[in-house]
Structure formats: structure tokens, C-alpha cells
Amino acid sequence: MKKEEIHLATYRILLYVFAFAMPFSTPSIVNSQGVHFWGNITPTLIGLFLLNWLLEADFKTKLQRIKTDKLIFPFFAAIGFYGFYLIGLTYSSNLDFGRQDVFLKLPFLLFPLLIFTMNPAMWKPKTAQNLLFTFALGNLSTLFISLIHSFFLCKETFSIEYFHYMNASLFFHSSYASMYYCFSFVIALYFLIDKQLHLWKKITAWIMFLLFPSEIVLLDSRAGQIAFVFAMFAFTFYIFIFNRKRILRFSLHLSLLLCLLVATYLLLPNNRLFANIQQMRIETIETESEGKEQGTFDATRSQIWISAVAVVKERPVLGVGTGDVKDALMEKYIQKDFEYPQERRFNAHNQYLQIAVTLGLVGLTLFFVFLGSIFLTAWKKRNILLFLFGLIGLVNFLTESMFEKQIGVMFFAFFFALLHYIAAKNLLKEETSA
């Protein structure tokens, strides 16, 4: 095997493994000593990807591909956004936290660099489609494992609560799980509508089509559910305006989906067990949120946002710096006597506010340029997957600081680069069967 073929095969293997492993990157299963059963392999995979990229060399040709594929704008949008976090270190006091933060966000630099410059020969006729399907398959695996785990806990304790909200997701927070499952559902629906699939893929896609929406309901993340609704409206608009030849097929799928969701929502309130879950959920929130001006988690989130806005008003242009964001928020919690956010050391619970506190309005502007590159490319290329990916992110950013955890950074940085590349090269449009 030639050296070039070895590098290309290595890229494919690493991409497939990374796409499948991403939903498993924050496992919560621990043994009796409190130690995780397995480690997170995604940083290692990125390291191997970078090593393969460096050993392949020919950097001049690689950088030229960014220009050839018209990926200069998204590339520099990503580099500029990440670069400002590095600049934010220069006016930070807490350099230890700052260094951890820029390392956490390193995928925003690495994925555009590595994916935008890859050898086009890496992409066989079905590579892009199979890669997206592999990610959805990884999420389906986490869903099945979570359901099995919930089933045995329910069998042991006779409590249906293990199928709801935080207990329903074994691997990550319900907000992140909803975001992952929502995009995985979009992938499955896209392939069911627009592609001719082999039998096993079609069956798997139908299972995803039926299970992911139901799980999003059970996860009970409002942002996740709103993102799902917005994504369906956008998908409907796309089909009726840009892909009319698929209207009948899409309408049948959409009708089935609506029946599934209506049935789910109608059944839950009339089910005494699920009614008990809701009551337990309310009681848990009220117990955790006891304190001054607190009674619900919404009140806690309001306190967090009030504190974040206060910090932004004091340092509106450049923010407090990459390293001092946590300290600045804590200082405001103490000043305003917000005990619960102080005890839990909450971040801003809003990605836009988090960036504004950290990097000010300049950093927030760079972030909007970063997001704008997604929608600009999606519009130019009529790429619905890239558009829906951006839309799902926009909504989830309203209630969570998604970039403060690896599971959020990995997801957004990886698909920002991958979907831009797929759109630029029209890889999916060339695939009519699988």
C-alpha cells in the first residue's frame, strides 16, 4: 500500500471512530469506587488525526485547498473566534483557568484546519453519507444503553422516573442529549427523504425516526424541544421551496411524526406514573432551589443572567478575559447574595452571555460572524443539514453555555468543519444510493 493510501485510510478510520464515539465522550457509569468504567477516547483520536496530518506533510498544497474549495470565510471565522480566546488570556488574572479554557476550545482551531485541508481523494462516493450515519448510529447506541439502564433501575425500584429528564440519559446532561438526538433525527429524516438506502440502513433510519423524537420528549429539555420544532419548520420550508419532488414522501413522514408526538403528549398527562414523575421533578427543583428569591430553576437561571449582564455592563468592549470569567460571575453572585448559583459555581447558562462576559461585545461579534458563515454557506449551497445544524445550535445556546463542556465543543467544532466541507464539495448531492 502506498504512503498516500495509508494516510487516507487512517483519516477515514479516525473519522468514523470519532463520529461514533462522540456521544460516548462523557460516560457517567461508575464502579463502586466512583471510577468510570472506560475513558474518553475523543481527545486521543484528535491527537492521532493531527499526527497523521503532520506526517502527511505537503502543507502548501493543503492550505491551497482552503482557497480552492472556497472555505476561506468559514476558516478565518473559526480561527478568529478561537484566536480571540487566546488574546483574552493577555488581560486575565486567572491564567490557570484561562489555559484550561483555551485547551478545551482547541477543536475550533483544529477541526477546520484538519478537515478543510484534507486530500479530496479521502472522500469515496459514500464516505460523507456513511460518516453522518455513523454519528447517528452512535447516538442510537447511547439511547438504547440508556433505556436498558433505566429499565433495570425501574425494575429494581419500581419507579418510572428513570425514564425521564436527567435520569433518561446515562451519558450526558439532558440538554446536550436533546441537541445530539435532534441533529441525529435530522440526519435520519434527510436520508429517508432524499436517499435510496440499503435495507439495513432504511430499517435503522426508521428506528431513529421513531425513537429520537420520543426520547427528546422524555428528556424534557425545553430548549431541545423548541430546537426540534424549529428544525421541523425549517425542514418543511426547505422541502416545499427547494425540493418539491420530495413533497409527497416528506408529507407522509411528517404526518407520521406529528401523530407520534401528539400521541406521546396525550398519553403522558393521563398516565399516573408520568404524572408522579412530574410532581417528583417539581419537588426536586424546589428543594434544590431553596434560598433567597429562589423557588424554581427558572428563578435560579434569572439570577445567573442578571449577574452576567451586570458583568457585561462593567466590561462591555473586551470582557473580563478568558481566565477571569468564572471569578467575575462568582463575584456578582456574592454581591447580589445569590446563594445557590454561588454554591454551584454556575456559568452563564447562555452561550451568548458567556461569550459577552468573557470577550465582550467584540468577541460576541466574532461569534456571530462564526455563526453567520454557517448560514451563508448553507444558503449558497442549499444545504439543509448545515442550516439545521446551525439552527439547532442557535436555540440551544439560549439556555446553556454549550462551549463550557467538551461534549458541546466537540459537537459544534466537528460538524462546523465537516458540514462546511460537505456543502462546499457537494458530497451528498452526488450520492443517490447507499
Output the average pLDDT for the chain. Answer: 86
Find cell 414523575 and name the residue.
Answer: 277
- Pair 136, 188: CB distance under 8 Å: yes
pLDDT of residue 428: 87
d(CA 378, CA 424): 9
pTM value is: 0.89
Between these two residues, 83 and 296, which has the higher pLDDT value?
83
The answer on pLDDT for 157 being more than 80 is no
3-state secondary structure 86-119: HHHHCCCCCHHHHHHHHHHCCHHHHHHHHHHCCC
Contact 218, 265 (CB under 8 A): no
Please state, as a whole number, how many other Cβ atoms lie within 10 Å of the Cβ of residue 138. 22
Going along 161-217, which residue ranges are E strands? Answer: none
Q: Tell whether the model's pLDDT for residue 269 goes beyond 50.
A: no
Assign 398 to helix, strand or coil. Answer: coil
pLDDT digits (tens, 9 = 90+) for 351-374: 999 999 999 999 999 999 999 999
**Which tens digit of pLDDT belongs to each residue from 216-240?**
988 888 899 999 999 999 999 998 8
CB atoms within 10 A of CB 3: 9
Q: Angle formed by the axes of helices 406-425 and 42-56, to 10°?
A: 40
- 90-104, 122-136, 270-284, 292-306: segment of lowest average pLDDT: 270-284
For residue 230, report the phi and psi dihedrals to the nearest 5 degrees.
-60, -40
Q: For residues 407 and 201, is the Cβ–Cβ distance under 8 A?
A: no
- DSSP assignment letter at 294: B
| Per-residue pLDDT tens digits for 410-434 | 999 999 999 999 999 999 875 544 4
Question: Per-residue pLDDT averaged across 43-63, rounded?
Answer: 93
